Structure 1
Amino acid sequence: MTATIGAALDWWGRTKPDSVALVFNESELTYGSLRDWTGRGARHLVESANVKRGDRVGLLGPNSLEWPVAALSILKSGGTLVPLNSRYRPVELRKIADEAGVSAIVVAPGFEELAAETAALGSDFTRVPFSDLTALRDGGSDDFRVDVEPDEPTTILFTSGSTGLSKGVVLTNRTLLSIVLENTLTEEGFRPGTTTLLVLPLAFTPGLVYGLLITTVLGGKLVVEPELLPSRAVTLLEKHSVQAIFGVPLIFEAISRAPEFAGADLSSLKTAIVGGAAVPTDLLSRWSDKGVLLRQIYGMTEAGGVATATIASEALDYPDRCGTGSIFTEVKVFDENGRQAAPGETGELVVRGPGVTPGYWNDPETTEHALRDGWLHSGDLGEADAAGRVRFVDRLKDLIISGGINISPVELESAIGEVDGVVEVAVIAATDERFGETPAAIVTVKGDVDAATIVEHCSSVLADFKVPRYVVVTEDPLPRLPSGKIAKSAIRDSYKDVHVRFEKVR
């Protein structure tokens, strides 16, 4: 079977061997070099690390030039890639290693002890140091590749855990290539040869799927950064005539605040997609003034990252909408009876299309619950207008039920975010003797913003029952997941006794 990521890499290695495939810290790697290096890497995994077709192989380390080389080597070896969060502790990694049944882990420098401690907590696995791959960078031509069938698992992505649960989402070559195809069929999409700037971790869905894998299949150039440095990002956008960038609003906000942004030529940018949180209208305006339309997306790992995105012509007119689906992917809102909800009615967002996961690794019960009658049930609340444009409302799990009334934390977060001096906010449920639950807002501020100011503003724009009864004001940043999203689970855990530690503000 040749319709694989590895086959695409080999094609570009043959047809444009001198074109740049990867850039990391000014170090460049051409397609010819990438094909040969990953061929040697795949051969090493098979012959020296005993990786067999279908074996799950972990990859542990931060962004680097070797990370994508290791990932593509694993795919070309016939192994199933399991990207690992390099910020996890041994117990967390052990859980994933056990659930995925990893037989080997490729380990970046500085993470050998973490891998060893993880191995010590259970059955051992082969550890392949990055130095093994680094030593294979130079050598002769090598087109080694073990092909797999289109529907065999090729990647298992463990969800970020924003809901407190981590599940192994299976992606196949058919799934991934369907995602690539769908993203090339609209004028705002990716194109063969597209240059993409990646300031997110490679080990998570956006970086892996929309960064490395789409770029590899389309023979583009991926500029990988170890972290987000706003001024440097602006410089790279211009230097490489970047055509695609994606991330959470925080990334676009930071870049737009860089001193170099105002005078930058961003005319090369054709694809700019943003998701994971509400996008402030002033942020949309800042980028549109530079000729760049930020397109709001709705997606999840189970749908390959992006299920729907606002079309460019509607990006400014419908800033809180996420489009009507994609060419082959449908996004609907179902009511509690499993029927399509009426326009404006809140219900569960459901998705179906060729980029949807076939299921969760070794978890038929969760798979059966999530994939019903051909639809992926997201566990997210949304609503659609009469034209089918969807809007994300909230996580089902995140709803605050106060005296039998549902309160959406997202609505409160949006309102509080309008207060001058508020940097970021997370709203969670606090225990309440009278109402069962009541809203509590954890707010990071700059300046003289206090709880009274926040309550006053909320009272002016929200019904009384929605106004938070607890407001914790801090100058410390809120914890975030590696994807950039605010880590609600961590905040809930830290403030589970907020009703005991803090006084009500109203």
Structure 2
Amino acid sequence: MAATIGSALGWWARSKGERTAIVVGEEALTYRELQDWSSRIARSLADRGITRGERVGVLGPNSLAWPVIALGAMKAGTVLVPLNPRLKPAELRKVVDDAGITTVVFPVEFAAAVDETRALGDGFTGIEFGELAALRAGGVDDFRIDLDPDDPAALLFTSGSTGLSKGVICTNRTLLSIVFEASLVEEGLRPGTTTLLVLPLVFTPGLVWGLLMTIVLGGKIVIEPEFVPGKAARLLAEHEVQAIFGVPLIFEAISRSAEFEETDLSSLRTAIVGGAAVPVSLLERWAKKGVALRQIYGMTEAGGVATATLVQEAADHPDTCGTGSIFTEVTVVAEDGSPAEPGVEGEILLRGPGVTPGYWNDEESTAAALRDGWLHSGDLGKRDDQGRLQFVDRLKDLIITGGINISPVELERVIGEIDGVEEVAVIAASDARFGETPAAIVKVNGEVDEAGIIEHCDRLVADYKVPRYVIIRDEPLPRLPSGKLSKTAIRAEYRDVADRFEKLR
């Protein structure tokens, strides 16, 4: 059927083929070039025997080749699995196994990491970026597999509060629904838009709201290989950017750059921020430049953005996240499932066309999250008398650092492997730059010190997960009557970690 990402790309290649689609540094691709190159990649994958429905992992930082390969994988009918390049081989191995990845595409500098990942379990095929980059040259090519819009198109892995990563299923239908809904409510997301992406392509904001949103709308996406605040400010004006997304850290850094005050931001129509607490002072700083920077609430399971503050309410209600969207509903319920009264805290529930159909090969988690037509977020919120949502806290234990989820349970398991560690609890510590950062509270029995714990973590998990605070104590950690650690009591005892203890990294 025609309702796919690939069909949208094909349309723009035929109707606006000379329009610029992707800019990365000094390189650019038109829609015709993007269509042909991604089609040749799709054809190559099919010729290698990679069949429809197989999971293909794409590893690596932002580059010109990454989005083309990702689009090629989707046009080949495979299920795209973006792989975070900051993960260590043991972490990559878990995603490979959970998704059942049969092929990993990677830049040459990741060859050693891929080999180590392969050695930790069953084999998989590896393809270097260079092999597919060589397909850039060639004639017109419109190859793509005919797909069912409800088949899985991508798996986006998100850390769970249980420590188990979960593959959120995205179909062409849910992805196109996200684009369609956004195009109806966001002035900056119309056909022909220009988007600046300073976030990694591997995460939901970069892949869905950056790449796929822009390509389906026939716009231009300017992708930065790395985030440089001053350069990002210049690019906003240079490309007359209409839409930008990010976590507070991104907008804060841009606004503190020397270039910000002199930058013309009059082209910006959509500037949305989320993934961590947003200071009102940050919103005010952008407002002085004529930009209504607006808070969002969302999650990977709902396509990244479920609701955003209305432009006309940004100044008067900066601490809210809107009332939902044109097709996406947001509600808050009490413990018994009944609607919470205005001002009363409860769990945030969502439903809409962009909500995932479930988790990959995980019926239990799917059944727990999707009940009676609603996605249960596990987050705590409240609404005012006009239905505006205010995020309060997480019912889950997840730590969100710079917009990236970290599972405390995963870190607790890693630290618990160290000889001499008796008990460990990982909690969120406030951090001026990242919003939150992991803090490990550890009871030891032996010669275990802070440096050894950090060194152990650094070998096994991505750098952003390594605790910045390690507190070693002699007394047992507080427990519930059931015998489980009392995270509530531990968080209360160490609520001022950042003030009382030295940051170790």
Q: Is the 8 A contact 2:186 2:270 kept in 1?
A: no
Q: Deviations over 1:64-103 (max 9, x none)?
A: 0000011000001110000001111111111111111111
| One-letter amino acid matched to 1:117 | E
Q: Is the 8 A contact 2:201 2:207 kept in 1?
A: yes
**Aligned CA distance change for structure 1 residues 343 and 90 (closer, same or farther; 3 Å):** same
Q: Which residue pairs with 1:468 in the alignment?
A: none
**Aligned CA distance change for structure 1 residues 384 and 497 (closer, same or farther; 3 Å):** farther
SS in 1 for 2:317: coil
SS in 2 for 1:184: helix
Matches within 5 A, 1:149-298: 149-160=148-159, 164-298=163-297
SS in 1 for 2:233: helix
SS in 2 for 1:216: helix
Q: Which runs of 5+ in 1 are unaligned?
A: 400-408, 414-425, 429-436, 447-478, 480-485
Counterpart CA distance in 2 for 1:122 and 1:211 is 33
1:348 equivalent in alignment to 2:355: no
SS in 1 for 2:136: coil
Q: Which residue pairs with 2:371 in the alignment?
A: 372
SS in 2 for 1:110: helix
Counterpart CA distance in 2 for 1:202 and 1:105 is 16
Matches within 5 A, 1:6-405: 6-48=6-48, 50-160=49-159, 164-398=163-397
RMSD: 3.1
Aligned residues: 438
Counterpart CA distance in 1 for 2:155 and 2:432 is 38
TM-score by length of 1: 0.81
Q: Is the 8 A contact 1:61 1:111 kept in 2?
A: yes
**Aligned CA distance change for structure 1 residues 441 and 372 (closer, same or farther; 3 Å):** closer
**Aligned CA distance change for structure 1 residues 119 and 371 (closer, same or farther; 3 Å):** same
Counterpart CA distance in 2 for 1:495 and 1:343 is 40
| One-letter amino acid matched to 1:167 | K
| One-letter amino acid matched to 1:28 | A
Q: Deviations over 1:181-238 (max 9, x none)?
A: 1001125351001100000000000000001101110000010001110110011111
Counterpart CA distance in 2 for 1:160 and 1:370 is 14
**Aligned CA distance change for structure 1 residues 33 and 162 (closer, same or farther; 3 Å):** farther
Q: Is the 8 A contact 1:279 1:319 kept in 2?
A: no
| One-letter amino acid matched to 1:190 | L
Q: Deviations over 1:18-57 (max 9, x none)?
A: 1100000121111000000011000001102x11011110
4+ long deviations beyond 6 Å: 437-441, 498-506
Counterpart CA distance in 2 for 1:37 and 1:498 is 60
| One-letter amino acid matched to 1:17 | G
Shift of 1:300: 0.2
Percent identical pairs in the alignment equals 61
**Aligned CA distance change for structure 1 residues 29 and 440 (closer, same or farther; 3 Å):** closer
SS in 2 for 1:3: coil
| One-letter amino acid matched to 1:137 | R
| One-letter amino acid matched to 1:384 | R
Q: Is the 8 A contact 1:188 1:312 kept in 2?
A: no
Counterpart CA distance in 1 for 2:474 and 2:279 is 28
Counterpart CA distance in 2 for 1:348 and 1:445 is 27
Q: Which residue pairs with 1:450 in the alignment?
A: none
Q: Which residue pairs with 2:413 in the alignment?
A: none
Counterpart CA distance in 1 for 2:2 and 2:220 is 22
TM-score by length of 2: 0.81
Q: Is the 8 A contact 1:78 1:145 kept in 2?
A: yes
**Aligned CA distance change for structure 1 residues 313 and 135 (closer, same or farther; 3 Å):** same
| One-letter amino acid matched to 1:21 | A
Q: Is the 8 A contact 1:245 1:273 kept in 2?
A: yes
Shift of 1:334: 0.9
Counterpart CA distance in 1 for 2:305 and 2:472 is 32
Counterpart CA distance in 1 for 2:27 and 2:284 is 34
Shift of 1:395: 0.8
Counterpart CA distance in 1 for 2:41 and 2:167 is 25
Counterpart CA distance in 2 for 1:81 and 1:495 is 40
